[in-house]
Amino acid sequence: MKSSQRKLVNEIAALRAKCMKRQVPEATTRIFCSSCRKEATGILKSAEDPQGVFESFRSNGSVRALVMLKPGIAYSFLKLKGNHWQFKILCDWEDPDALAWTRTMLAKHRTLLKSHEFAGFMDAGLWSLLPDLKRCGISIEAVSLIGRTKLAIKKCPTSIVWPSGYFVRRVQKKDIRELLSLMRTEFRRNPQFGWFVSHPQFLKMARDGFLKDCKRKRPFEFVVIVNRKIVGHFGAHVTNPHGFGYKSASIGIGFKREHQGRGLSRLCYQEAVKVFSRERVKFFMGVTAQPAVMKIGAELGRELISFNMSSRKPYFTNDCFLKYPIWPKGIKVRPKYLK
């Protein structure tokens, strides 16, 4: 790498770290810094794509914003054919010049943005760019929520009382086929809550995750049983250390249709938080467009840290997500609903 490129990588990584620290103040570990550098290197590499776009805004000797557009699917776990493109926007939202520059870039590349199916993740702090993205045909598909176990456990009851007849046990190998079928059925029925979940590639990944959990001494995946039948599941994929540099969980949950709408998921989240506390999991993350998950997330103090953006036809309006009540303290200017 040339020294000018190395300098640019360092500047992009510094911008990434600065923005993330406003949302997750704990993101100061060496692991996090090296993940920022890795991301920055990837962004620069994609700048070499002849079809793609890479624009950056510098002031006072450092990068304050960048816009990257390139062909390829944004979800690392899916390999899909089609007109998929991804975007990345990094911008110091406390710098009005950087925000204004980013708006100009979105207007400049509107035709390109409108002519492909785009997806990408964007910091919650950039919420004021949502109308600009909307004009490019891109809107929020889901939000990422981050929970802190230490806070959440204080909000959970000491004993969790399930309705009579319901009980919880760890996932066993014999359950996996049924769990995958539950996921396939529910997310095909309601793709707006995660269209990719019913995709065979995602289900294969889920199967591998369940199988791995079955071999663990102390499990993270659970089923909810009534009359010996599985009616739902909840659990987490745990990474140690995660990109922020701490043990973190990525949570999943689902019930059969006839067991939805009974408030059972609240009990599942409480059970999961207890497990996280026992296993010293610091953060629990999740991507969701589910109003029930957002409601319970807010009860557990989870903060909204990023948007999953997409040019697929939106099912929910941006406002539905912007009304989420808990935002990181480092995002000082917030949507009107939260003032």
- Contact between 147 and ligand COA per CB under 6 A: no
Please list every residue from 71 through 110 that binds ligand COA, using CB under 6 A.
none
- Rounded alpha-carbon distances, angstroms, from residue 130 to 14, 122, 266: 24, 10, 31
User: Residue 255 burial by CB count (10 A; 0-12/13-18/19+): exposed, middle or buried?
Assistant: buried
User: Which of the stretches 74-82, 86-94, 118-126, 254-262 binds ligand COA when contact is defined by CB under 6 A?
Assistant: 254-262
Q: Which two tokens stand for residue 12?
A: 């992009």
325 binds ligand COA, rule: CB under 6 A: no
Shortest Cβ distance from residue 302 to ligand COA (Å)? 12
Among the residue ranges 95-103, 207-215, 249-257, 270-278, the one whose residues contact ligand COA (CB under 6 A) = 249-257
Name which position in 255, 269, 307, 321 contacts ligand COA (CB under 6 A): 255
Q: Of the candidates 53, 67, 206, 264, which one interacts with ligand COA according to CB under 6 A? A: 264
Residue list 275-314, contact with ligand COA (CB under 6 A)? 288, 290-293, 295
Query: What length is written for the chain?
Result: 339
Q: Which of 83, 261, 280, 319 binds ligand COA (CB under 6 A)?
A: 261
- Residue 6: CB partners within 8 Å, gap ≥ 6? none
Backbone angles phi, psi at 284, to 5 degrees: -125, 125
Residue 226's contacts (CB-CB under 8 Å, 6 or more residues apart) are 165, 166, 259
Which residues touch 7 (CB under 8 Å, ≥6 apart)? none
Closest to ligand COA by CB, 39 vs 186, is 186
Q: Contact between 249 and ligand COA (CB under 6 A)?
A: no
Q: Would you say 9 and 3 are in contact if contact means Cβ atoms under 8 Å apart?
A: no
Q: Is 179 in the site for ligand COA (CB under 6 A)?
A: no
> 126 CB contacts (<8 Å, ≥6 apart)?
89, 91, 93, 102, 307
Amino acid at 25: P
Can you tell me which of 62, 185, 192, 260 binds ligand COA, judged by CB under 6 A?
260
Residue 265 in contact with ligand COA, rule: CB under 6 A: yes
Q: How far apart are CA 333 and CA 339, in angstroms?
A: 9
Stretch that binds ligand COA, among 143-151, 199-207, 263-271, 275-283 (CB under 6 A): 263-271
Selected from 186, 213, 271, 303, the binder of ligand COA by CB under 6 A is 186
- Residue of 263, 278, 319, 329 that binds ligand COA (CB under 6 A): 263
Shortest CB 205 distance to ligand COA, Å? 15
Binding-site size for ligand COA (CB under 6 A) equals 18
Sheet architecture: strand order including 53-59 = 53-59, 62-71, 84-91, 117-123, 303-310, 139-148, 283-288, 248-255, 229-239, 221-226, 166-170
Which residues are near ligand COA by CB under 6 A? 186, 193-194, 253-255, 260-265, 288, 290-293, 295
